[in-house]
């Protein structure tokens, strides 16, 4: 694999939505003449949602900012910018943006030819009985529940996810997941198909991670509200790997875990020691 040849010259893309008054900053992880790789925060769509067409999404906001000649689009001479792949609304992490239509099309082709690697870090409720395992079952829209997906041989599209345990905790597990070809909700649906939901993934019956459920003798101060350590689905795209369609170099970009992930892991390591822990009954056979 070739070393990264681009330079991170743009610190952040500052994106705003006039319709909703939302604002996001996307740190730039990598840049060359063909692509940008940015760090997407959780809570923003990449492409337009058919179930909620009014919700702001990055691809349309890029078009808007270029048309309005927002300063950073002029400074870096960006007449075109579009994501080559998708990330869930709630997911954070590395997102590849193409600087022209040809590059977008060719990287998108890699995505569907399974040459494109997207790797997530996830935190799940439960303990697998194997350290490494795969799921090969189609994923598609639920049909009766907008924005929800399911594993279905009849209605879904081919989806393969490979999971590998990174760290065990009492009642929780951190894993990596490589998704091919990285469909929406793929890692979340495949893990739920096996049994346990992701931490914080209320769409698939996952519970928020609360310090009060981890720390012995936890006491909340009077008139205070406890906020979850992880209140969104615990999924972060920590690595993307693809081929530059112009010079054919291999590019790999990493994204550090965001603050909510790091804080969750801090308290899990402190209060959820896996030593001597037995697999809970609901998840005893979800793998193996």
pLDDT single digits (tens) 6-15: 444 458 999 9
Residue 280: pLDDT above 60? no
pLDDT at position 111: 80
Residue 5 within a domain: no
- Please tell me the least confidently modeled range out of 66-70, 90-94, 107-111, 184-188: 107-111
Strand locations in 22-171, DSSP E? 22-31, 35-40, 82-83, 92-98, 117-125, 132-136, 139-141, 149-151, 160-169
Sign of the CA dihedral running 86, 92, 97, 103: negative
Residue 188: pLDDT above 90? yes
pLDDT single digits (tens) 71-82: 999 988 899 999
Residue 148 within a domain: yes
Report the share of the chain in percent with pLDDT over 70.
Answer: 91
> Taking residues 205-218, what's their average pLDDT?
93
- Given a contact cutoff of 8 angstroms between Cβ atoms, the answer to whether 230 and 261 are in contact is yes
Residue 274 within a domain: yes
pLDDT at position 283: 46
pLDDT at position 284: 45
Q: Which domain holds residue 184?
A: 12-283
Q: How confident is the model at residue 2 (pLDDT cuts 50, 70, 90)?
A: very low
pLDDT single digits (tens) 241-250: 999 999 999 9
Residue 171: partners with Cβ closer than 8 Å, 6 or more residues away? 125, 126, 127, 272, 277, 280
- Please tell me the least confidently modeled range out of 114-118, 166-170, 201-205: 114-118
Residue 285: pLDDT above 80? no
Report the share of the chain in percent with pLDDT over 90.
Answer: 72
> Taking residues 216-229, what's their average pLDDT?
92
Residue 286: pLDDT above 90? no
Nearest-angstrom CA–CA distance, 282 and 266:
26
Peptide bond into 239 cis (omega under 30): no
Cα atoms found within 13 Å of the Cα of residue 138, Cβ hemisphere only: 10
pLDDT at position 169: 94
Q: Return the CATH number at 100.
A: 3.30.2350.10
- Given a contact cutoff of 8 angstroms between Cβ atoms, the answer to whether 38 and 92 are in contact is no
Q: How high is the mean pLDDT of the chain?
A: 89
pLDDT at position 38: 97
pLDDT single digits (tens) 118-146: 999 999 999 888 999 999 999 999 878 88
Domain count, the chain: 1
- Please tell me the least confidently modeled range out of 79-83, 116-120, 170-174: 116-120
DSSP-derived pairing of the beta strands 235-243 and 92-98: parallel
Q: How would DSSP label each residue in 177-203?
A: EEEES--TTHHHHHHHHHSPPBTT-GG
pTM metric for this prediction? 0.90
Residue 245 within a domain: yes
pLDDT single digits (tens) 35-76: 999 999 999 999 987 667 788 999 999 999 999 999 999 988
- Given a contact cutoff of 8 angstroms between Cβ atoms, the answer to whether 90 and 42 are in contact is yes
pLDDT at position 50: 63
Residue 6 within a domain: no
Residue 288 within a domain: no
Please give the radius of gyration of the chain, using alpha carbons only, rounded to the nearest integer.
20
More confident residue, 230 or 2: 230
Residue 1 within a domain: no
Strand locations in the chain, DSSP E? 12-17, 22-31, 35-40, 82-83, 92-98, 117-125, 132-136, 139-141, 149-151, 160-169, 172-180, 235-243, 250-254
């Amino acid at each position: 694999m070739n070393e990264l040849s681009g330079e991170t010259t743009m610190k952040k893309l500052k994106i705003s939505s006039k319709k909703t008054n939302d604002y996001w900053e996307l740190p730039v992880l990598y840049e060359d003449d063909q692509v940008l790789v940015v760090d997407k925060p959780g809570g923003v769509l990449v492409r337009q949602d058919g179930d909620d067409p009014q919700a702001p999404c990055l691809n349309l906001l890029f078009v808007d900012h270029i048309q309005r000649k927002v300063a950073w689009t002029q400074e870096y001479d960006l007449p075109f910018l579009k994501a080559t792949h998708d990330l869930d609304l709630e997911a954070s992490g590395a997102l590849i943006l193409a600087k022209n239509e040809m590059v977008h099309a060719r990287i998108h082709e890699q995505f569907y030819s399974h040459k494109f690697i997207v790797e997530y870090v996830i935190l799940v409720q439960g303990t697998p009985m194997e350290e490494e395992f795969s799921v090969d079952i189609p994923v598609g829209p639920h049909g009766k529940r907008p924005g929800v997906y399911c594993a279905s041989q009849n209605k879904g599209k081919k989806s393969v996810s490979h999971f590998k345990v990174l760290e065990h905790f009492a009642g929780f597990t951190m894993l990596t997941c490589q998704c091919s070809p990285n469909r929406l909700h793929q890692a979340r649906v495949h893990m739920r198909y096996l049994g346990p939901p992701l931490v914080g993934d209320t769409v698939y019956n996952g519970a928020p991670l609360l310090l009060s459920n981890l720390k012995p003798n936890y006491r909340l101060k009077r008139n205070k509200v406890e906020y979850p350590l992880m209140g969104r689905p615990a999924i972060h795209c920590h690595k993307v790997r693809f081929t530059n369609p112009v010079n054919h170099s291999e590019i790999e970009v990493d994204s550090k875990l965001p603050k909510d992930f790091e804080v969750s892991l801090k308290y899990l390591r402190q209060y959820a020691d896996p030593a001597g822990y037995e697999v809970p009954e609901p998840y005893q056979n979800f793998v193996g």
